[in-house]
Amino acid sequence: MNIIQRLIPASNTETRPGLKMDPKYITIHETDNTSIGADAEAHARLQERGNTRTASWHLQVDDHEIIQSIPFDEVAWAAGDGRDGPGNRTSIHIEMCVNADGNYEQTVTNTVEVVKYLMNLFNIAIDHVVPHKHWTGKNCPRNLLPRWDDFIKRCQIADGWVKPGAQWFFYKNGQKQTGWIKDKSKWYFLDTNSVMQIGWVNVDSKWYFLDENGVMQTGWKKVKNKWYYMANDGSMQTGWIKLDSKWYFLKPNGEMAIGWIQDDNKWYYMANDGSMQTGWIKLDSKWYFLKPNGEMAIGWIQDDNKWYYLDYPNGVMITGTHVISGVEYTFGTDGALIEKEETQEPPPNGGVAETSATTNQTGDTSSELDIPFGSQNTNTTNEEPAP
Ligand SMILES: [Zn+2]
């Protein structure tokens, strides 16, 4: 649809007063001029040259042209309801040509098209598309009034999605919707301008992810190489979640954690698929033990009737000979305590984590690390311990 611009000069303040307007209505008129050649072009020319009456309108439509004379955000004098009347002050006015040499039916069709365009452009509902008669009772538009209901039906934008430009809108009962809408069992979110959103949106302090089609996502979703988990209501989750009997940890920004994480002063290890690990794990040639609840063990643990010591505070399994709480212990290359015959009941503390710094074979005192990995305080050995 093409709207030809032939604006009244701004200097002609009689017919183009320059009063700003936020259009809320679309008003339909007919020119009542059946003269041969009294088409849109002729009426636009009349307005452009300066109508002798203080009368003007935004658009004139005939069977082959739509011509604009006044910007849509400026007032035209067409309603006849006074200088401050709502018809003049809040409506876009369209004159339909009724020249005898024109095709009136085609003019109606062209008017329907431009009305739909303007409804969408200014978010004007169908009940705000009115005949001139609505404002003053004048019998205008004379030929269209007897078939007004049919005209309105043709103007009404069908329920559903509309994409007039680069953005999608959703109509219901002739009006653009906002907020969450459900269509064919999928959820979409329309912002305050009724524009369908894609990507991350924050609604009522919760994050949601809408795919490239605007569809709200649930479950796992990979965005820019990070995984996120959306509950059944679409809201992005944070913290611990359990799915299919596996635990996952989602950072405060929703990102699925991988590797070591610290929560409530305890360390946990998440595999590359994000699942919390338990039992023995080997990382960078070092062994760690994760309790059944995922918590990294520190101090003595008993596994398969053997004792092991996980160094404080980094949790690394030690091998070789160490003095722990003043007592010397020797551990095999597999980390298992080698019990001396005269030492019948090690360890003395029943596996409770040591809180004091331990000293390893080389006499180094392990430092108070913030991270449980990356320190080097165990014996180096070419043999792989295999708990
Ligand atoms: Zn009229």
CA of 29 to the centre of ligand 1 (A): 4
Q: How far is the CA of 107 from the centre of ligand 1 (A)?
A: 16
Q: Name which of 93, 99, 113, 92 is nearest 31 in CA terms.
A: 99
Q: How far is the CA of 153 from the centre of ligand 1 (A)?
A: 21
Residues with CB under 5 A from ligand 1 (ion): 29, 132, 140
Mean pLDDT of 351-369: 39
CA of 139 to the centre of ligand 1 (A): 8
Q: How far is CA 310 from the centre of its chain?
A: 46
Q: Which residues contact 265 (CB under 8 A, 6 or more apart)?
A: none
What pLDDT does 164 receive? 79
Return the pLDDT at 386.
Answer: 34
Question: Global pTM?
Answer: 0.66
**pLDDT attached to residue 224:** 95
Q: What is the largest CA-CA distance in the chain?
A: 124
CA of 25 to the centre of ligand 1 (A): 14
Ligand 1 centroid vs 138 CA: distance in angstroms?
Answer: 7
Between the CA of 11 and the centroid of ligand 1 the distance, in Å, is: 25
Decide if 211 contacts 198 (C-beta within 8 A).
yes
What's the pLDDT score for residue 1?
Answer: 82
pLDDT of 216 > 90? The answer is: yes
Question: Which tens digits make up the pLDDT trace of 164-215?
Answer: 789 999 998 878 899 999 999 999 999 999 999 999 999 999 999 999 999 9
> Which pLDDT tens digit goes with each residue over 286-317?
999 999 999 999 999 999 999 999 999 999 99
Whole-number Å distance, alpha carbon 130 to ligand 1 midpoint, is: 11
Cα(73) to ligand 1 centroid in Å equals 20
Q: 4-13, 117-126, 127-136, 205-214: lowest mean pLDDT where? A: 117-126
At 356 the pLDDT is: 39
